């Protein structure tokens, strides 16, 4: 659905992929506030959103919804910005030549920060973006809520897969135009998934202490904002989680009786800048050929690029993609 369908009075701006019309950071529908109260509420919500974003992304980023729409030209034909807030924003975009508004807001704005969700959705989203750009031409405006996470990532994947940039080259250009934090690892893994296929592999995680009353895991493929409960196995005297994950490296922590802990019997990351460590698991697909392993290592490595043949394969995949 076109998230701006009620704001537009004429074509050609076309919105896409929105699940809801932009609202002032999810203020309750029908809520009545004075100008001062409304401003205070929006400032408070901006603070909460910025805090959540910083914690989830691992980077200090700030979004001020109360200051209105903000954006940057990444290329003459590509803009990344924050959500539109009024019909005046539509008029503003028309005046700078925007033909397509590509909306990436979700029912839960925290999904903007979920790298695993982004990895799985990128091919469908960039496919739709590519088709809309070909149809409409002109300037394209890509936004999520703040324009700092998901929107920059989609723009970067589009530059990498379609426009011919290497990933690092596109990332440097993006960062030179707009302070943001696209999830590079999600783009790398989505690229490998397109070229070698996406398969899920069974894993088992175990917490050996049977004397506790509850064990959960956060991280993995659900992100740090959610938890997966483990099941106690009386025969083994341990808490177990059996699940399926696509290839890749996943970090996680256990929450044992409400306390966040690492399992010393499983792999542990090196301490980050704050001294925190996590457990991690590297999931590999059974039966992968040496050629596929080398390809995945290259496109998920520190300086990924695509050969002409690989870029053609990705483009054909995106052009033929039909979302189920």
Q: Which long-range contacts (CB under 8 A, 24 or more apart) does 31-34 make?
A: none
CA distance 210 to 224: 24
CA distance 312 to 258: 49
Distances (CA, A) of 208 to 120, 251, 256, 263, 266: 32, 19, 11, 9, 11
Nearest to 251 by CA among 278, 277, 271, 224: 278
- Please name the residues in contact with 167: beta carbons below 8 A apart, sequence gap of 6 or more: 156, 160, 184, 187, 188, 303, 304, 305
Sheet holding 238-246, edge to edge: 200-207, 238-246, 231-233
Which residues are catalytic, by number? 144
- DSSP characters for 12-54? S-B--S-SS---STTPPTT----HHHHHHHHHHHHHHHHHHHH
Number of neighbouring beta carbons within 10 Å of residue 202:
10
- DSSP characters for 91-106? HHHHHTTEEEEEE---
Q: Radius of gyration over alpha carbons of the chain, in Å? A: 21
Token pair of 81, please? 């910005």
CA triple 135-137-141, angle to 5 deg: 105
């Amino acid at each position: 659905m076109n998230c701006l369908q009620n704001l537009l009075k004429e074509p050609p701006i076309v919105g896409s992929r929105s699940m809801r019309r932009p609202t002032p950071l999810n203020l309750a529908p029908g809520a009545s506030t004075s100008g001062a109260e409304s401003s205070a509420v929006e400032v408070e919500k901006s603070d909460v959103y910025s805090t959540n974003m910083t914690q989830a992304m691992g980077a200090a980023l700030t979004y001020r919804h109360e200051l209105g729409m903000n954006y940057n030209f990444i290329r003459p034909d590509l803009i990344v910005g924050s959500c539109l807030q009024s019909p005046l924003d539509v008029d503003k975009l028309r005046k700078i030549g925007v033909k397509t508004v590509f909306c990436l807001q979700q029912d839960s704005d925290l999904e903007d920060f979920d790298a695993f969700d982004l990895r799985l959705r990128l091919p469908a989203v960039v496919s739709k973006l590519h088709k809309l750009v070909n149809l409409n031409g002109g300037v394209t405006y890509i936004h999520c809520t703040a324009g700092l996470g998901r929107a920059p990532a989609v723009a970067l994947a589009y530059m990498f897969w379609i426009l011919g940039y290497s990933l690092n080259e596109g990332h440097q250009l993006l960062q030179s135009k707009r302070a943001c934090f696209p999830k590079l690892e999600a783009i790398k893994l989505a690229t490998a998934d397109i070229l070698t296929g996406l398969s899920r592999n069974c894993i088992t995680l175990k917490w050996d202490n049977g004397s506790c009353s509850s064990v959960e895991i956060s991280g993995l493929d659900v992100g740090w904002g959610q938890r997966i409960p483990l099941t106690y196995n009386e025969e083994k005297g341990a808490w177990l989680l059996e699940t399926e994950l696509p290839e890749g490296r996943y970090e996680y922590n256990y929450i044992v009786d409400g306390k966040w802990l690492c399992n010393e019997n499983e792999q542990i990351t090196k301490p980050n800048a704050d001294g925190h460590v996590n457990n991690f698991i590297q999931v590999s697909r059974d039966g992968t050929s040496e050629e596929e392993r080398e390809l995945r290592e290259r496109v998920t490595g520190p300086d990924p690029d695509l050969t002409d043949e690989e870029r053609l394969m990705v483009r054909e995949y995106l052009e033929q993609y039909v979302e189920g």
